[in-house]
Amino acid sequence: DADVTQTPRNRITKTGKRIMLECSQTKGHDRMYWYRQDPGLGLRLIYYSFDVKDINKGEISDGYSVSRQAQAKFSLSLESAIPNQTALYFCATSRTGYYGYTFGSGTRLTVV
């Protein structure tokens, strides 16, 4: 099993629908992150969490929300999806004091 698992792997949804992307990890890391990747724009940070009670906005949090249900689980929600949220979404984890990330395999989201 992968250390960081993202579900679903691919998703097509309609404009206005609510959608949740899930991330779970078996690394035992305390920190978790959500990034989106768009062609030519690199990886941009949406939200990050340093522990279960600590949630922080990243540079592009508008239109997104997150939930850290447990140390191992971090979900990203799009309350009302719009086409410009079409992107590749990555969850990543790290542990305090070490800044190497472990990435999930990504979720390709298409909003039509």
Residues forming contacts to another protein in the complex (CB under 8 A) are 33, 35, 40-45, 48, 50, 58, 90, 99-106
Query: Can you name the residues that pair with 78 across neighbouring β-strands?
Result: 19, 64
Shortest approach of another protein to residue 15 CB, angstroms?
Answer: 26
Q: Which is nearer to another protein, 39 or 62 (CB)?
A: 39
Of 35 and 75, CB closest to another protein: 35
Q: Sign of the C-alpha dihedral, residues 65, 69, 71, 73?
A: negative
Please, which residue, 41 or 82, has the CB nearer to another protein? 41
Nearest distance from residue 48's CB to another protein, in Å? 5
Tell me how far, at minimum, the Cβ of 50 lies from another protein, in Å.
Answer: 7
Closest residue by Cα to residue 90 from 25, 44, 27: 44
Region class of 94: left (phi > 0), else alpha (psi between -120 and 50), else beta: beta
Q: How far is residue 99 CA from its own chain's centroid?
A: 17
